[in-house]
Amino acid sequence: MAYCGERSRLENRLTGKDLQRALWVGPEPSRFMPGVPRKTTQTERLKMKRDCDEVFPQIIIGNGDAIKNMDYLLDIGVTHILNTAESDVRIDPTKFAKNGICYKGFVCKDIPGADISSFFHECAEYIERALSMRCGLVLVNCYMGYSRAATIVAAYMMLKKNYTATQALQYMRNSREVQPNMGFLQQLAGLDNNLRKERYRKYNSMQVQIQYSI
């Protein structure tokens, strides 16, 4: 059985509202962008028609315009694209294949009621395979690069890198003003709760095995 302290943590379910606190701290308003040798403000990024940041080693989050600029993608060495907003960012996937870039996309509206959690596991696997390559570099985008893309990257960090939802969001907020909508935050909280339960089940199972082996 779990210790009392562990049981208390297990039963203390995380909510989307709890995760909003992870968004209180943000990055510097003027910061470096991949492929640009100087710090840029949001206004400058809009003029350049691309806005992206490396939020985790080998993972870039960007807006829809960023993946439409093939010269830019090739210049910074992107190997994989994950378009989380195919209904808003329409692009011909064959253009990526012709340039040696792998593409994956899905349709999900940036509204609280949209079920983005149904894409968590398949996207985490896609990103993990991409980063297993020696030079793998993934650009995950949505329309603005703040909500859908950030939610998917957070889920990847939780599923593959053992981050909590809070830790994942805070880590990304160091370099980009990611801000999933409340519905997406709640779905990340649900994933966090499920992963925590799974960890404690494994822990308890190990404790039982140790007791029987003594």
- Identify whether 52 is a catalytic site residue: no
Helix (H, G, I), strand (E, B) or coil at 61: strand
174 domain residue, yes or no: yes
The structural domain count of the chain equals: 1
87 domain residue, yes or no: yes
12 domain residue, yes or no: no
pLDDT by residue (tens digit) across 166-183? 999 999 999 999 999 999
What's the CATH number where 166 sits? 3.90.190.10
Rounded percentage of the chain residues whose pLDDT exceeds 70: 89
Question: Binning pLDDT at 50, 70 and 90, where does residue 122 land?
Answer: very high
Tokens at residue 198, please?
A: 């799974």
Kindly name the residue from 52, 102, 123, 142 that is annotated as catalytic: 142
18 domain residue, yes or no: no
pLDDT over threshold 60, residue 2: no
Q: Which domain holds residue 46?
A: 31-213
116 domain residue, yes or no: yes
CA dist., res. 182 & res. 188, Å (int) = 10
70 domain residue, yes or no: yes
198 domain residue, yes or no: yes
Cβ atoms of residues 183 and 113 within 8 Å: yes
127 domain residue, yes or no: yes
Q: Is the pTM of this model over 0.85?
A: yes
